[in-house]
Structure 1
Amino acid sequence: MSIPITGSLSRSGGLLSAISKNAKLLNLKGVKRITVTFDPFGENVKQTREVIFQLSLAKVVRTNPRCIVRTNVVCDRSDPKFIVDLIPEVHEAAGFNTVKFNARHLSALEILELFNKHITTLAPKEEEVKILSTKSTKKKKK
């Protein structure tokens, strides 16, 4: 009598690959401004700084070059906060203007997952561009 095989046959990529996977999914098309407030001497500052780095990657910035990512460094032992202001089109559809994250006990992966869940889903959908084919392009394909 044999025991059936259960589980995965390969290992997961780990925490860094999960963070990079969620960073690739970020879409800032519906965002006007992101304000990050943190205390550099606080407990969870490393996780907050990691998320700020992921938000400033070139691929994420290309989704909305007009989005402003502003950091406020304070020295009052306050919790790290992410305040996301939405563009007017998304604001009207969603029914709210800002989204606030209190990141005191959240890891970088959890912050990015929440960002993808609540912000990326609000991004306006891209309309497919239909390419017109002419006689000359049809001849080139043959």
Structure 2
Amino acid sequence: MSVPFSGCKSRSNGLISAIIKQLKTINYKPAKKITVQFDPFHERATEMRKLMFYLTGPKYANTNPACLLKTNIVCDRSEPLVTVDLVSGEKVVMKCNNLTLVEVLQLYNKHVTSLVPREQEKDEDLKSKLKSKKGKKR
């Protein structure tokens, strides 16, 4: 007599792949200034340091060279904050007291990266070029 299988048939790729998946979609275009504030003695300080490590990468900074990335290190036992000043004048404040690195990146992608205008015009130009090349014969 065998025990029936219970559980998932495939395994998760892990935490690193989840972070990489979120980092692939990060874009600074709608942001004017990103401020990360944390207390180094807080429990979640390591999560904010990891976030700063990923956000300072040249791949992401090249999406909007005019975006300022600022770090405020305070010693007042306050919770970690990520504040994003948008080009439209609005502010997005993420309180990261109980959030992991993946959750902070997901929130950034949900609220900030989703504001990037779609490049439909470029896609249409590419499609028309492909059609014209397809019609030509050698």
Q: What is the TM-score when the length of structure 1 is the normalising length?
A: 0.78
8 Å CA contact 1:31, 1:67 repeated in 2: yes
Residue matched to 2:107: 114
Separation in 1, partners of 2:108, 2:94: 9
Residue matched to 2:40: 40
Separation in 1, partners of 2:117, 2:6: 41
Q: Give CA-to-partner distance per residue, 1:88-107, whole Å, 9 cap, x none.
A: 3xx4xxxxx10000101100
Q: Give CA-to-partner distance per residue, 1:33-88, whole Å, 9 cap, x none.
A: 00111111111011111111121122211211111110011111111101100003
SS at match of 1:63: coil
8 Å CA contact 1:24, 1:59 repeated in 2: no
CA 8–126 in structure 1, closer or farther in 2 if over 3 Å, else same? same
Separation in 1, partners of 2:92, 2:109: 12
8 Å CA contact 1:29, 1:64 repeated in 2: yes
Q: How many residue pairs were aligned?
A: 130
| C-alpha deviation, 1:10, in angstroms | 3.5
Residue matched to 1:28: 28
| C-alpha deviation, 1:5, in angstroms | 7.7
| C-alpha deviation, 1:111, in angstroms | 0.4
CA RMSD of superposed structures (Å): 2.4
Residue matched to 1:101: 94
8 Å CA contact 1:29, 1:124 repeated in 2: no
8 Å CA contact 1:28, 1:120 repeated in 2: yes
Separation in 2, partners of 1:7, 1:61: 41
The answer to whether residue 119 in structure 2 is matched with residue 126 in structure 1 is yes
Counterparts of residues 1-142 of structure 1 (less than 5 Å): 9-88=9-88, 91=89, 97-129=90-122, 130=125, 142=138
Q: What is the TM-score when the length of structure 2 is the normalising length?
A: 0.80
The ranges of structure 1 where at least 4 consecutive aligned residues each deviate by more than 3 angstroms after the TM superposition are: 3-10
SS at match of 2:109: helix
Greater shift, 110-119 or 49-58, is seen at 49-58
| C-alpha deviation, 1:12, in angstroms | 1.7
Separation in 1, partners of 2:4, 2:86: 51
